[in-house]
């Protein structure tokens, strides 16, 4: 959906393209804390299902919705404050003028987005991943159609430009949340879990566990997204054309990354299920399988980026200056695809072990002690400009991939199941 927004807004001009990138950088920096926290639901549900405890599954479902509402309130407030003080990010004046209204509209959809993730992760955790996949695909097509109408003023509607993309995305999020919830509460396959008896004590305990396991996961995503958001803001100092090029390349890299998060989620669920069944061999095999899939998939994506960079960039813009810079950035993205996929999956399978605190520390070191400082040094001392920032992030990703994979190997081997 973000890819569709960027591609379609990019047809307007470089200023709108820079504005959508700056807005998304700020919005996802904050909202990812909620999304990341809610990822704890699926492995916890999988563990309860593996242990044949439908009452626990029900409590994770109910508490997941409660957690989503609590997180929405906090995130909406923070995003609103960021929009009010958006000028502090020191973007170009025209970029700021377009970005703030778009950010306000995106913020309205936050509660729907997090409710969707809460219910989706419950369904995924018990092994039913197709419903959310189908609803997401429908949502994507819906978002593209609404973008066409609202951005460009089709079918008698006014041309809202960038603001139209925000309205389309918010409407789509509401549709996805309501559809996912209706499917789960009415689906016969969920009844055994949703009708199981449970006590208030269990309810409170499960809410605490979601935050205990999930908040570190949320901060993992936060520090990672913060690094790339920070990179976008730093590159914004060079100019709107540089920022537009960055937004195109990072959007393509983020799209391949999202598929890797699917492999990560699957690994997390299967590891959690194996823990519930107290089957150590399956824990190790599930984690290994997820890592191998990440290497194969991201390796293929790397080849596509390195061999056909001009084709992919051409889908976004015809501006020669922007295209020239974006092509080189996409080639750098091709170099870090393997590292990006491996670290993404490693975080997921560690989450399946409920190991989230140390991985969060590794993430902080990878991006904020290594990635961003090295990128700034390359950018300034070696005059590599925006390319230096990207090389620094690549080095941070590689460090993260190596450390997280090593941790899973050690933690899974020393795991003792009673």
Round the average pLDDT of the chain to a whole number and report it: 91
Q: Give the per-residue SS3 of the chain.
A: CHHHHHHHHCCCCHHHHHHHHHHHHHHHHHHHHHHHHHCCHHHHHHHHHHCCCHHHHHHHHHHHHHHHHHHHHHHHHHHHHHHHCHHHHCCCHHHHHHHHHHHHHHHHCHHHHHHHHHHHHHHHHCCCCHHHHHHHHHHHHHHHHHHHHHHHCCCCCCCCCHHHHHHHHHHHHHHHHHHHHHHHHHCHHHHHHHCCCCCHHHHHHHHHHHHHHHHHHHHHHHHHHHHHHHHHHHHHCCCHHHHHHHHHHHHHHHHHHHHHHHHHHHHHHHHHHHHHCCCHHHHHHHHHHHHHHHHHHHHHHHHHHHHCHHHHHHCCCCCHHHHHHHHHHHHHHHHHHHHHHHHHHHHHHHHHCCCCHHHHHHHHHHHHHHHHHHHHHHHHHCCCHHHHHHHHHHHHHHHHHHHHHHHHHHHHHHCCCC
> Exposed (0-12), middle (13-18) or buried (19+): which is 67, by Cβ within 10 Å?
buried
pLDDT band for position 364 (50/70/90)?
very high
Query: Looking at residue 158, what is its pLDDT?
Result: 87
pLDDT band for position 201 (50/70/90)?
low
What does the alpha-carbon distance between residue 342 and residue 354 come to, in Å, rounded to a whole number?
Answer: 18
Residue holding tokens 């194996």? 274
In percent, the amount of the chain with pLDDT more than 90 equals: 68
Tokens of 375: 């990128």
| Domains held by the chain: number | 1
308-341 per-position pLDDT tens digit: 999 999 988 888 899 999 999 999 999 999 999 9
What does the alpha-carbon distance between residue 228 and residue 389 come to, in Å, rounded to a whole number?
Answer: 9
Average pLDDT over residues 186-195: 91
Query: Looking at residue 238, what is its pLDDT?
Result: 84
Cβ neighbours of residue 226 closer than 8 Å, sequence gap 6 or more: 29, 367, 368
Query: Looking at residue 120, what is its pLDDT?
Result: 97
Q: Please choose, from the candidates 363, 378, 385, 360, the residue with its C-alpha nearest in 3D space to the C-alpha of residue 40.
A: 360
220-262 per-position pLDDT tens digit: 888 888 888 788 878 878 888 888 899 889 889 988 998 899 9
Cα 227-232-233 angle, rounded to 5 deg: 95
What does the alpha-carbon distance between residue 146 and residue 166 come to, in Å, rounded to a whole number?
Answer: 10
Write out the residue range of the structural domain in which residue 336 sits: 2-414
Going 219 to 140 to 235 to 17, the CA torsion angle's sign is negative
Is the confidence at residue 6, as pLDDT, over 90?
no
Is the confidence at residue 290, as pLDDT, over 90?
yes
Is the confidence at residue 300, as pLDDT, over 70?
yes
Q: Are 250 and 330 in contact (CB under 8 A)?
A: no
Is the confidence at residue 377, as pLDDT, over 90?
yes
Q: What is the pTM of this model?
A: 0.83
Task: Of 104-108, 143-147, 183-187, 381-385, give the lowest mean pLDDT range.
Answer: 381-385
pLDDT band for position 68 (50/70/90)?
very high
What does the alpha-carbon distance between residue 215 and residue 209 come to, in Å, rounded to a whole number?
Answer: 10
Query: Looking at residue 226, what is its pLDDT?
Result: 85
Going 381 to 382 to 385 to 387, the CA torsion angle's sign is negative
Cα 279-285-286 angle, rounded to 5 deg: 90
Query: Looking at residue 229, what is its pLDDT?
Result: 75
Query: Looking at residue 202, what is its pLDDT?
Result: 59
pLDDT band for position 203 (50/70/90)?
low
What does the alpha-carbon distance between residue 198 and residue 144 come to, in Å, rounded to a whole number?
Answer: 42
Query: Looking at residue 200, what is its pLDDT?
Result: 59
13-42 per-position pLDDT tens digit: 888 888 887 888 789 889 999 999 999 999
What does the alpha-carbon distance between residue 405 and residue 339 come to, in Å, rounded to a whole number?
Answer: 11
Is the confidence at residue 49, as pLDDT, over 80?
yes
Is the confidence at residue 94, as pLDDT, over 90?
no
Task: Of 18-27, 65-74, 350-359, 396-405, give the lowest mean pLDDT range.
Answer: 18-27
Going 178 to 179 to 182 to 184, the CA torsion angle's sign is negative
Cβ neighbours of residue 97 closer than 8 Å, sequence gap 6 or more: none
């Amino acid at each position: 959906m973000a890819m569709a927004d960027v591609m379609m807004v990019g047809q307007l001009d470089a200023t709108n393209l820079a504005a959508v990138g700056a807005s998304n950088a700020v919005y996802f920096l904050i909202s990812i804390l909620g999304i990341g926290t809610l990822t704890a639901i699926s492995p916890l549900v999988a563990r309860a299902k593996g242990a044949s405890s439908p009452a626990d599954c029900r409590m994770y479902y109910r508490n997941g919705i409660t957690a989503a509402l609590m997180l929405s309130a906090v995130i909406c407030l923070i995003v609103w404050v960021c929009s009010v003080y958006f000028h502090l990010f020191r973007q170009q004046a025209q970029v700021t003028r377009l970005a703030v209204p778009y950010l306000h509209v995106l913020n309205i959809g936050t509660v729907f987005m997090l409710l969707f993730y809460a219910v989706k992760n419950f369904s995924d955790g018990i092994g039913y991943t197709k419903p959310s996949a189908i609803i997401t695909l429908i949502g994507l097509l819906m978002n593209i159609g609404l973008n066409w109408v609202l951005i460009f003023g089709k079918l008698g509607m006014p041309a809202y430009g960038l603001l139209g993309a925000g309205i389309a995305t918010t409407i789509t999020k509401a549709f996805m949340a309501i559809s996912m919830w209706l499917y789960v509460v009415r689906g016969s396959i969920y009844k055994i879990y949703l009708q199981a008896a449970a006590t208030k004590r269990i309810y409170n305990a499960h809410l605490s566990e979601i935050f205990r396991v999930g908040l570190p996961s949320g901060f993992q995503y936060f520090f990672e997204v913060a690094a790339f958001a920070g990179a976008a803001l730093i590159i914004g100092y060079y100019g709107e054309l540089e920022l537009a090029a960055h937004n195109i390349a990072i959007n393509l890299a983020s799209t391949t990354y999202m598929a890797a998060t699917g492999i990560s989620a699957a690994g997390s669920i299967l590891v959690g299920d194996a823990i519930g069944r107290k089957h150590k061999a399956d824990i190790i095999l599930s984690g290994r399988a997820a890592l191998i899939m990440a290497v194969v998939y991201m390796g293929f994506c790397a080849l596509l980026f390195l061999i056909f960079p001009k084709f992919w960039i051409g889908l976004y813009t015809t501006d020669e200056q922007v295209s020239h810079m974006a092509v080189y950035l996409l080639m750098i993205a091709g170099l870090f695809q393997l590292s990006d996929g491996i670290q993404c999956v490693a975080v997921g399978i560690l989450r399946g072990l409920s190991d989230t605190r140390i991985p969060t520390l590794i993430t902080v070191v990878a991006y904020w002690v290594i990635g961003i400082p090295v990128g700034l040094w390359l950018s300034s001392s070696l005059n590599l400009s925006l390319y230096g920032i990207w090389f620094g992030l690549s080095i941070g990703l590689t460090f993260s991939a190596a450390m997280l994979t090593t941790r899973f190997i050690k933690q899974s081997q020393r795991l003792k199941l009673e």
